[in-house]
Structure 1
Amino acid sequence: MCGRFAVTLPPEAMVNLFSAVPANDPPDVPNYNVCPTNSVHVVTSDDGSRRLQAMRWGFLPHWYKTPNDGPLLINARAETIAEKPAFRAACRERRCLIPATGFYEWTKDGEGNRLPWYISHEDGSPLVFAGVWQAWDKGETPLVTCAIVTTAAEGAMKEIHHRMPVTVDEENWPLWLGEDGKGAAVLMQEPPSDGFRIYRVDRAVNSNRARGPELIEPIE
């Protein structure tokens, strides 16, 4: 799964990276501890015109009467996304890209303490997660929400967690966004990249109130 991540790219850099038009409500960055229900940067495409906008991380299906009407859907499994009622329409019609600098996963020691690990590209380049999005308008304030697509972990990641985000390489962004027609499902079936740097970080990140660049500093 993916339950926390970090974003350090300035909005201007994201606009240039994706050749996107920025919206007027970008989330604050850098954010070294992006948590569920936070506002995150998301790239969408409408007839080939890309937009960088803010969405709530935590997908709300159209039948939820309130944001707390069911489970918090921050992830969507690649293996079942096309079948699940919550995600199947979004998988066909509302795919998006979610940029990140890295993400966190946890193991446990012999005493049951949660030990955080930080995962990023070895070369320092941004991660781009496959996502799906949904507009939800059942409350007083309409929300645009998203979830990160996950797949089975491979390589060194398997030692940390059995799931990981689906990452999309730049040459495949048009396919995932629907700009290159149909066939995006193949991107969820490709083996995950093994070009990751993985290291332990301080347990301070276990708190959703923790902030600051020290959260991604490696520890012995």
Structure 2
Amino acid sequence: MCGRFAVTLPPDAMAQLFNAIPANDLPDVPNFNVCPTTQIHVVHDLDGRRLVSMRWGFIPHWYKAPNDGPLLINARAETIAEKPAFRMACRERRCLIPTSGFYEWTKDEDGNRLPWYITRTDGEPLVMAGVWQDWERDGVAWRTCAIVTCGANAPMSRIHHRMPVILPSEDWAKWLGEAGHGAATLMQPAPEDALAFHRVSPRVNSNRASGPELIEPI
């Protein structure tokens, strides 16, 4: 799964990277501890490429309230086309979620959670595949999203058995639907040499922690 990440790229740089028009209500950056249910940066192509803010935590249309069911921060690639929550979004509402890197945890022999920070080996932004959904009830409206995950590649499997679907720039248009069909073929683990890993401070175990020291190696 992917349950926490960092974003350091300024919004104007993100907009330029994706050739997208930025919204005016984008979340503040840098944020070294992006948590579920907060607003995150997302690129969609509903009416041309747009860099917008969405709630991280997909809300299916039948939920009567945002907390009416499980918190859906991830969508499994293996079942995304079949699950009622994600089926239509997978076909019609795919998006890109730009990050600088994400966190995952192992445990030591005493059960202590040991955080790792995972980035691209080339230092470029790490762009995850996502799906999004509009939800509205009683005058309250949210635009929400989830990160698509797949089975881990061999290096990542030493930390966790799953990983986000990571899209190189040449696949962005296909995932967004701009380059025709074939998005399903992109839901694969990243190449084994694509990612770098390092241990970071247990401070990030708290969702209240902040600051650039969270991603520093220890």
What TM bracket, shorter-length normalisation? over 0.9
Alignment match, 1:182: 181
Alignment match, 2:15: 15
CA deviations on 1:135-181 (whole Å, 9 max, x unpaired) are: 00014320000000000001211000000000111111110001011
Structure 1 contact 66–139 (Cα < 8 Å) conserved: no
Say if 2:64 is the partner of 1:65.
yes
Give 5+ residue unaligned stretches, structure 1: none
**How far apart are the structure 1 equivalents of 2:93 and 2:110?**
43
* 1:142 aligned counterpart, secondary structure: strand
Say if 2:72 is the partner of 1:89.
no
What displacement does 1:191 show? 3.8
**Are residues 108 and 9 of structure 1, via their aligned partners in 2, closer, same or farther at CA, if it must alter by over 3 Å?**
same
* 2:132 aligned counterpart, secondary structure: strand
What displacement does 1:53 show? 0.1
Say if 2:97 is the partner of 1:98.
yes
Structure 1 contact 65–139 (Cα < 8 Å) conserved: no
Alignment match, 2:190: 192
* 2:137 aligned counterpart, secondary structure: coil
**Are residues 200 and 95 of structure 1, via their aligned partners in 2, closer, same or farther at CA, if it must alter by over 3 Å?**
same
**How far apart are the structure 1 equivalents of 2:126 and 2:56?**
17
Alignment match, 1:144: 143
User: Where do residues 1-220 of structure 1 align in structure 2 (5 Å cutoff)?
Assistant: 1-46=1-46, 49-188=48-187, 190-194=188-192, 195-219=194-218
CA deviations on 1:6-31 (whole Å, 9 max, x unpaired) are: 00000000000000001111001000
What displacement does 1:183 show? 1.3
* 1:137 aligned counterpart, secondary structure: strand
TM-score by length of 1: 0.97
Q: 2:207 is matched by which residue type in structure 1?
A: N
What displacement does 1:46 show? 2.6
Q: 1:214 is matched by which residue type in structure 2?
A: E
Structure 1 contact 4–104 (Cα < 8 Å) conserved: yes
**How far apart are the structure 2 equivalents of 1:81 and 1:136?**
19
**For the aligned residues, what is the CA RMSD?**
0.9
* 1:62 aligned counterpart, secondary structure: coil
**Are residues 127 and 139 of structure 1, via their aligned partners in 2, closer, same or farther at CA, if it must alter by over 3 Å?**
farther
* 1:70 aligned counterpart, secondary structure: coil
TM-score by length of 2: 0.98
Structure 2 contact 165–189 (Cα < 8 Å) conserved: no
Q: 1:58 is matched by which residue type in structure 2?
A: G
